[in-house]
């Protein structure tokens, strides 16, 4: 849906920080599919995503984060057994959702161009199930979010307007 490109472009537009999705970088670097990751790797993703996010926000309070811990929890909820998922949640509960002002979720579209890292070439129903899982997790953890369902340009403009409306650009 263009989330990674949008986060990078917004960080450039606002001269803000950018924090990539750790699990995606890890999968690309190690040439693996995220679907093949187990509990220890997902736990490592959660810890490292939080560290990267905190580091980025120390350098720039207005940081656009490509993927957060809920992304990794959503993968875990869909990939692991319930027992392993609950174990992961218990082991990582102190590493969630630190300092986020607002999350923006890009709703899945029927047509999608796979990045080759995640199973995004999967049927729309599977991508929608992942999206629904992310919504449930944001609700569970009281993370404020907005669903965006437009084109790349429309989504970019919606986030840009949100940032401008909340005076983040004036803080910097």
43-75 pLDDT tens trace: 999 889 888 888 888 888 888 998 888 888 888
Each residue of 2-17: pLDDT tens digit? 888 999 999 999 999 9
**Three-class DSSP labels, the chain:** CCHHHHHHHHHHHCCCEEECCHHHHHHHHHCCCHHHCCHHHHHHHHHHHHHHHHHHHHHCCCEEECCCHHHHHHHHHHHCCHHHHHHHHHHHHHHCCCCCCCEEEECCCCCCCCCCCCCCCCCHHHHHHHHHHHHHHHHHCCCCEEEECCCHHHHHHHHHHHHHHCCHHHHC
Whether the per-residue pLDDT at 113 is higher than 70: the answer is no
């Amino acid at each position: 849906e263009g989330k990674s490109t949008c986060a990078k472009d917004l960080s450039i537009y606002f001269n803000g920080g950018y924090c990539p999705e750790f699990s995606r970088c890890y999968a690309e670097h190690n040439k693996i599919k995220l679907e093949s990751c187990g509990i220890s790797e997902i736990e490592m993703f959660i810890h490292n995503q939080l560290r990267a996010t905190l580091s980025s926000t120390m350098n720039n309070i207005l940081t656009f984060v490509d993927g957060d811990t809920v992304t990794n929890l959503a993968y875990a909820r869909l990939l692991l057994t319930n027992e392993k998922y609950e174990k992961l949640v218990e082991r990582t509960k102190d590493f969630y959702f630190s300092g986020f002002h607002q999350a923006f979720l890009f709703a899945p579209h029927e047509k999608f161009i796979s990045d080759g890292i995640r199973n995004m070439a999967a049927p729309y129903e599977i991508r929608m199930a992942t999206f629904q899982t992310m919504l449930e997790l944001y609700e569970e953890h009281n993370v404020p979010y907005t669903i965006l369902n437009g084109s790349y340009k429309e989504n970019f403009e919606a986030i840009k307007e949100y940032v401008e409306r909340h005076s983040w650009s004036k803080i910097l």
